[in-house]
């Protein structure tokens, strides 16, 4: 009996070590330093009230009500409505490309009359890998096209849970290959190319640029932008708990997770996605961050993913990459999507355009 108990204890210890080191990855706390000063301070604009009302109606209340309004279908419909109600003065054109396995992925080009179609931005939308589309994020793709003079392509990459997490990864990679070779009107040589994305799309953005720089014969991105990106699938960031109450958008999504032991979360993620949560493909911060293209990260000091952005920036800079972080005070997660409501969103887009001009992607203004 004693040997059986010893065997059980050893088994549990071995499992714990496996989960901690293999699934949990490296300890990222070393990248909490140096700390980052907030770049854009000051009381929030009047538009903040409108945004908070929108978030309460579309995120907080549905989560409390449960039932039909809290289903994945309902969440996707709300995201879609947010974008489809826009009437921007631009040309939007549907297009498609082939992903691995002969899967056809559709997407949307956004351009304006003065767009230089040889300058292109791949935009990867957010939505926790489960919601969102090219339509839902039109506020961002339009503003990028308007301010940079670039043609912007947003793919409708495959979403979970009906698809595998790695399906979306593959679709993002193939979307990059597609825009290198194609513009809104079809095959056309590219002059400058950038990758951008928010939240989950920010995760895919940082994955794509790492992958593209490692692929022999593939054109390297000239620049990248990640808005409030999630970079660590092991959920180590202190700001997840520190900013839980101030992150109105992500709070309903993250609240149930915080009740689950991290051990269970790691194992559950591993089983669900068929890839360990610390793998660089799904946790970009865990990989080699040297040799990256110039990258701008924007995040709010009040959101749960703030420390994801800080840690990624510090690690990338230590590896010699040109990665910079800009933070805003008291903004919600991915606030640039509220461009019609928030002056702070305009400020963020101005910074993005300036950054892309610095590296020759955006047209001179």
Which residues are the active-site residues?
199, 303, 333
Residue appearing with tokens 């849970």: 161
Respond yes or no on whether the N-terminal peptide bond of residue 71 is cis (omega within 30° of 0). no
Which is nearest to 90 in space by CA: 131, 156, 134? 134
Question: What is the side-by-side order of every strand in the sheet holding 223-227?
Answer: 91-99, 103-111, 150-155, 116-124, 192-198, 223-227, 295-300, 323-328
Cα 244 to Cα 239: distance, rounded to the nearest angstrom: 7
Alpha helices in 88-152 (DSSP H): 138-148
113: enclosing H helix or E strand: none
Q: Answer whether 299's CB lies under 8 Å from 335's CB.
A: no
**Residues forming beta bridges with residue 143, ordered by sequence position:** none
Q: In this structure, what token pair is assigned to residue 227?
A: 């808005």
Strands (E), the chain: 91-99, 103-111, 116-124, 150-155, 182-183, 186-187, 192-198, 223-227, 295-300, 323-328
Which is nearest to 107 in space by CA: 75, 135, 79, 77? 135
């Amino acid at each position: 009996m004693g040997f059986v108990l010893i065997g059980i204890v050893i088994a549990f210890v071995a499992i714990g070590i496996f989960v901690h080191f293999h699934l949990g990855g490296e300890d990222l706390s070393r990248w909490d330093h140096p700390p980052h000063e907030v770049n854009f301070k000051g009381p929030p604009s009047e538009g903040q009230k409108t945004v908070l009302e929108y978030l309460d109606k579309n995120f907080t209340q549905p989560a409390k009500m449960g039932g039909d309004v809290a289903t994945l279908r309902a969440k996707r419909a709300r995201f879609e409505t947010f974008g489809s109600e826009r009437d921007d003065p631009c040309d939007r054109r549907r297009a498609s490309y082939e992903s691995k396995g002969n899967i056809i992925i559709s997407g949307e080009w956004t351009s304006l009359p003065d767009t230089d179609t040889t300058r292109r931005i791949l935009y990867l939308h957010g939505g926790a890998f489960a919601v969102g589309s090219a339509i839902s994020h039109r506020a961002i793709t339009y503003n990028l096209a308007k301010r940079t003079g670039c043609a912007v392509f947003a793919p409708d990459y495959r979403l979970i849970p009906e698809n595998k997490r790695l399906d979306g990864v593959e679709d993002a990679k193939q979307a990059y290959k597609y825009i290198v070779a194609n513009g809104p009107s079809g095959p056309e040589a590219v002059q400058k190319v950038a990758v951008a994305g928010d939240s989950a799309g920010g995760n895919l953005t940082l994955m794509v640029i790492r992958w593209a720089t490692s692929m022999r014969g593939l054109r390297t991105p000239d620049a990248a932008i990640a808005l409030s990106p999630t970079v660590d699938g092991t959920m180590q960031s202190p700001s997840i708990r520190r900013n839980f109450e101030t992150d109105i958008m992500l709070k309903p999504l993250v609240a149930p997770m915080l009740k689950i032991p991290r051990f269970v979360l790691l194992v559950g993620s591993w089983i669900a996605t068929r890839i360990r949560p610390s793998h660089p493909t799904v946790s970009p911060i865990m990989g080699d961050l040297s040799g990256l293209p110039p990258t701008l990260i924007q995040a709010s000091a009040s959101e749960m993913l703030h420390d994801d952005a800080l840690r990624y920036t510090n690690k990338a800079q230590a590896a010699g990459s040109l990665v910079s972080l800009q933070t805003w005070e008291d903004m919600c997660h991915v606030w640039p999507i509220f461009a019609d409501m928030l002056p702070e969103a305009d400020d963020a887009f101005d910074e993005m355009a300036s950054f892309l001009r610095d590296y020759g992607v955006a047209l001179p203004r």
